[in-house]
Amino acid sequence: MAVFLPQLICGRHPQSTGLFYATYLKPILKLTLPGIDANDEKKTQATIHLYFNLLSWLPLVNDPAKANFQNTKHRGELSNQLFADMENSLFAELGTLERQIDEEMWGNGQFLEEWALAVLDRCFQFIQSRSGARSSSSSPNTDKRRSGKSSKSDGSEDAIVLQVLNLQALLFAQLSPEIYTQCLRKTVAFVSNAFYTTSFGGK
């Protein structure tokens, strides 16, 4: 995490390069997807931390037309001014991205769409697993709840679940309208078929 975290910072950073996006984004997203694991809390927290950094600047868009740069329009005057203002407010020189890197960014659209849907599935699997474990262990803790006491594990449970729910919220905020619709349908299907008899994630 410490090695490539500077590469995930949006804008001009002295240790950041545009090559990260073109070369390493897809394998990192693919390899870290199993990190959302209901049986490994620390791994899940590290994965969520990574995805929070990525989703703070990474739009999830699948636009095949953008991959063909003969159909891509040039930036307008307002766009150029906005980018110039952004560069002036940042703290390190930002070199112009090469054409190959720019093409790679838009060429990842299909992969990003599939990854977004896969992240949502992992979050739902996490919720189902943790909810099942919580329900099976709820009886021994009944007396503690009645006495107004809660175990340390309960607090940890709520914290990690809230992190997963917050990750889903950030994911939806970065989706293009087309991918958003797919994820919304998947979420509605999950919620329609899920019923929990115990409190979950502090809710």
pLDDT tens digits along 42-98:
999 999 998 998 888 788 888 766 655 444 545 567 767 776 776 676 555 555 555
pLDDT in tens, 23-54: 778 888 999 999 999 999 999 999 999 899 88
Specify which of 3-7, 105-109, 185-189 reaches the highest per-range mean pLDDT: 185-189
pTM comes to: 0.70
Asked whether residue 150 carries a pLDDT value surpassing 50, the answer given is no
Read off the tokens for 155: 């607090």
Question: What's the confidence (pLDDT) of residue 93?
Answer: 55
Question: What's the confidence (pLDDT) of residue 129?
Answer: 87
Q: Where does the pLDDT of residue 106 fall: very low under 50, low under 70, confident under 90, or very high at 90 and above?
A: confident
Domain boundaries, the chain: 5-136+151-192
Question: What's the confidence (pLDDT) of residue 34?
Answer: 94
Asked whether residue 154 carries a pLDDT value surpassing 80, the answer given is no
Q: Which residue has the higher pLDDT, 199 or 108?
A: 108
